[in-house]
Every structure is written in structure tokens, then in C-alpha cells.
Homo-oligomer: A and B are copies of this chain.
Amino acid sequence: MRYGLWYWPEIQGRGEFIRLPLEAAGIAYVECGRVEGADALIANMAQHADAHGPFAPPYLEMDGMVIAQVANILQFLGDHHQVGATSIADRLWLNQLQLTIADMVTEVHNVHHPLDVSLTYEAQKDAARSVAKAFREQRLPKFLGHFERAAQGGMGEWLLDHHWTYVDTSLFQLVEGLRYMFPKRMAAIESDYPGVIRIHDLVADLPGIRAYLKSDRRLPFNQDGIFRHYPELDAA
């Protein structure tokens, strides 16, 4: 059995948080949205709507069952493919961290779409400028400081002991996205978060991730995803 991963075909988006542990652990999956296109994704979502369907992509499909919500999918993969935790306390801690990453990702999206997700960035540029300032100056250091304490607080070089988990790969993606979106700001502050950067670098060096990042399966960041680079929203 191979997992079917359904997500928008043209962006990394939230799908990337699922792809990374799949790639790092060598778990077989089909990128259904890219193979079949966005219309097929919309049709597939409609087909699941009356059962236990997703509110939005990404979702995994397997044996007729659907699992949606990034943190939920990751917890499932963690339990079934040894990319999570085994003890109850560690499982709770990983899920807690992942949910805090999800909160930050939502705030990142809100930076360029503060007023209406159905409108373009250009239609809400002025509001975006003021949200971006608050995000860069207050929220970004607050979130990164939290993840830094998590990175310093483990027993080994990873967040948990001596093996990577899905939260390490999520932290990698967060750093990648923030560097793309706020290059000036990240250059100015990232040395304050050596533990976070250590985990980013360790993930980048995993054999499965090295191969993935060189492949055409890793889409480049772009102006349709969650992390978008608008120079006017960045500042040191």
C-alpha cells in the first residue's frame, strides 16, 4: 500500500510538512494532486465530503480512509512509522510543539492575507504591511524563542533524544520558509536561535532530505504558497 497525498499541485504549502517526514523516512507515497491536477483534488474532496472528509487539503488517503489536518497526519505517521515518540509524555510534547508550529504557520499566512483569504495580496497590501511589522518584531522572536528552548531542552541533538521526529522536519521547513519570506529579518536575528538552526541543518543533512531537496519533487517557494517573499514586508 502507498499513501496518497492530496494537496494543491503548484505549491509547497502545508503539504510540505507531510512530504518531509515521508521523504526522510523513505515512506512510499503518491503525490495525487500533482499527478492528477487541481480539478481532481477538488473532485476527490467533494467525493469525501459526506463521510469523514477533510475541511481542506492536505490529506492522506489510504484503504478508502482519509486523514486530514497536518498535526493529525503527522501524529499518525509518527505512530506508524517510528518518526514520532513512543512514551505518552513525549507523544504529547511532540504534538504540542507541532500545534504551536501550526499556529505560527497560520500567522505567517495572515501576514499577506490579513483581511480576506479570498482576495489577492494586492487587495490588502496596506493592512499586510502593518501585520508584517507586528509579526517581524513581536511574534517571530516569541515563537522562535519558544522553539529555541525546546531545541535546548532535549536530551540529545534532536528535539527528542537521538533520533529525528516529524517535529524536527517541521522546524526545518519553518526556518526555510522564514528565510525565504523575511531574508533581512532572519539574517538579523537567527544567530539568537542556535538550537533551532542546528536542528534545521541536521534535517537538511539527512540522506532522504538531501535527495529530496535535489529532486524536482521539492518545488521552489513561490508567491502562491504560505511563505511568500514580498520585499516591502521585510526589514531587519
Residues in A lying within 8 Å of B, measured CB to CB: 49-55, 65, 67-69, 71-72, 75-76, 89, 92-93, 95-96, 99-100, 103, 106, 110, 114-118, 127, 130-131, 134, 138-139, 143, 146, 149-150, 152-153
Residues of chain B within 8 A of A139, CB atoms compared: 117
Residues of chain B within 8 A of A138, CB atoms compared: 116, 118
| Complex CA distance for A149 and B52, rounded to whole angstroms | 9
Copies in the complex: 2
Main secondary structure, interface of A, reads helix
Q: Are B146 and A127 in contact (CB under 8 A)?
A: no
Residues of chain B within 8 A of A96, CB atoms compared: 52, 54, 67-69, 72
Q: Are B95 and A114 in contact (CB under 8 A)?
A: no
Q: Are A116 and B131 in contact (CB under 8 A)?
A: yes
Closest to A129 in B: B115
